[in-house]
Structure 1
Amino acid sequence: MKKLLLAAAISFAMPFAAHAGADFVEGDKTWAGEAELGATLTTGNTDTSSLKGRLGLKHELGNWENQYVLEALYKEDTDVVTAERYYGGIQGDYQINDNSYVFVNTNLEKDPFTGFDYTSKSAAGYGHKFVDNGTTLFKAEVGPGYIYQRLDDESAITEGVESKDSIVAHAVMNFSHKISDTSTFKQEFIADWGEKLDGRSETSITANIVGALAMKFAVVVRYNSKPVEGKKSTDTETNMTLLYAF
């Protein structure tokens, strides 16, 4: 398992090294992105391994700004998997003017430790940048959304249903501030409220090491007001990762 994690880490990092530190332009299409990676391997009296990876891309084309995100988290302790989460999402923003835009997004998350085979969410609505001066960014989004969740076999028996779905009110708040020329603070809140409340908060500080390479410390909190029986409402995740911008 450790060889697989190490190979994945190398494979994840190498493709971005060639593009480090700059956006690239292909005709009238502009791309930019960042790759994030953290891994821990221990042997001996303690036998553990973990891998945290994230790839984020932005694509600007005319009035559209498209965002693509892939995330993976895997932890193993003495050959027992203790955490496993995979996430993929896409969002398109159509700029109305410098501060206002409309958005549409969809994502898919697989986390067997929540009692669901997978969770799919989609939303559309209006976004507004209240502050965007190059140092501080504060923006918010709101609109209707839809959540579909497929339960795993054990939870389906316990809950008496195979799936759950609902219409929700979707809201996002993003805040970032450059503390200095080399460090940035970010705070993101995401909430989907319908028959229950699903929320996610990520607080992070990023500090440049050299060039496009930075160190990122983040605390992620996930909340579900009505978890599957036997599961907890709140999950927390603390990460220290390397981040590479390109």
Structure 2
Amino acid sequence: MNKKVPISLLALFSPLLLAAEQSSNAEAIDAIVDALNQKQQPECYHFTDEVPPEEFIGFPECDLTPSKLTGSVEVGAFFNTSDNDYFIAKARSDLNHEVGKLRTNWILDVFGRKSEVEDDVTGKKRYETTDQKWLTSLQSNYTLEEGGRNYLFGYGSYEADRFNGFDYQAAVAAGWGRRWYETDIAYFDAEIGPGFKVDEIAETDDHNNRTETSTIVRTAATYERRIYQTMEFKQTLSAEIATKTGENSKLKSVSSVTTKLIESLALKFAFTVDHNTNVDGDIEKTRTETSLTLVYSI
């Protein structure tokens, strides 16, 4: 015999059944949401005064030291077509890396020139390298105090120039520097320290190539100023002064004006002077370079 559930009994229990079903659905939805938004276990934690370290004994402290890479890459070329054709090319990179109190600057500079010359015997013209050099330098500065002006530096450089009387010139130095002046639009740095220099003197008709070493005192200064919103002037001076009389000392000056064209592209005019106090043969002690390059900022 079939038993029928009274309608009054269903009416009594239906709200309870509906509430139970809704509660079950809500729990299922919450479980799905929690699974989708499950937080991954952190590999490290930054301890603060608000969060006691003892709550995160199993976590190492995160390294939150800021790191930044900036710099520029520039290229330039010049062609001349006349009785004496020639071609000039220049490329340079200037990169800076900052992490905490440490700032590292790396420079690579390449320059070359080919000129058309006439053979004395055959009379035929050919292109010959008449100027070629490349140099690189690396310097790291470590600030002694947070937000301070004093720093320790380490410096190294290598230069190979086929036409300055040296096969190569290399130097290392370390010492102390200071930012003596700084505003929103300008700054001035100067530094000094002892070092060591190697000059590989090129072979001539009078002697074979030979190596000269000497201790030096390196001094350097940099002044940079924003002239207008889109124009900057920069002057750098450096001297590697030999401590003994008669040994070669090296002086260098670079003056430049950079004009921004668009956000990351600029035009740069630079004038460089290199001077060696002792040069063999009839090679000029002072060499100059004038360049106009296109600069891309990183």
TM range (shorter): 0.7 to 0.9
CA contact (8 A) 1:114 1:228 kept: no
Higher strand share: 1
2:294 is aligned, of 218, 242, 245, to 242
CA contact (8 A) 2:72 2:295 kept: yes
1:152 is aligned, of 189, 194, 202, to 202
Q: Distance in 2 between matches of 1:36 and 1:244?
A: 6
Structure 2 residue 237 is matched with structure 1 residue 189: yes
What is the TM-score normalised by the length of structure 1?
0.84
2:173 is aligned, of 123, 128, 131, to 123
Structure 1 segments of 4+ aligned residues over 4 angstroms from their partners: 43-46
- Higher mean alpha-carbon deviation, 205-214 vs 44-53, is at 44-53
Secondary structure (helix, strand or coil) at the match of 2:261 reads: strand
What is the TM-score normalised by the length of structure 2?
0.70
Q: Distance in 2 between matches of 1:202 and 1:185?
A: 11
Cα 1:206–1:143 change in 2 (3 A) is same
1:232 is aligned, of 284, 287, 291, to 284
Deviations 1:200-226 (A, max 9, x none): 001111111111111111110111111
Q: How far off its partner does 1:43 sit?
A: 4.2
Structure 2 residue 163 is matched with structure 1 residue 113: yes
Aligned equivalent of 1:177: 225
Q: Which residue type is aligned with residue 123 of structure 1?
A: A
Q: How far off its partner does 1:191 sit?
A: 0.5
Which structure 2 segments of 5+ residues have no match?
1-64, 117-126
Aligned pairs for 1:42-121 within 5 A: 42-43=80-81, 45-78=83-116, 79-97=127-145, 98-121=148-171
Aligned equivalent of 1:142: 192
Q: How far off its partner does 1:231 sit?
A: 1.2
Aligned Cα RMSD in Å?
A: 1.6
Identity of aligned residues (%): 28
Q: How far off its partner does 1:159 sit?
A: 4.8
CA contact (8 A) 1:159 1:228 kept: no
Secondary structure (helix, strand or coil) at the match of 1:138 reads: strand
Cα 1:219–1:44 change in 2 (3 A) is closer
Deviations 1:28-70 (A, max 9, x none): 4321110011111344644211111100111112211011111
Structure 2 residue 215 is matched with structure 1 residue 167: yes
Q: How far off its partner does 1:95 sit?
A: 0.7
Secondary structure (helix, strand or coil) at the match of 2:228 reads: coil
Q: Which residue type is aligned with residue 201 of structure 1?
A: S
Structure ranking higher on relative contact order (CA contacts 8 Å, 6+ apart): 1
Deviations 1:147-202 (A, max 9, x none): 10112232xx6356611111011000111111011101111110111133310001
Q: Distance in 2 between matches of 1:93 and 1:197?
A: 24
Q: Distance in 2 between matches of 1:38 and 1:134?
A: 31
Aligned equivalent of 1:12: none
Q: Distance in 1 between matches of 2:241 and 2:80?
A: 41
Aligned equivalent of 2:120: none
Q: Distance in 1 between matches of 2:193 and 2:107?
A: 20
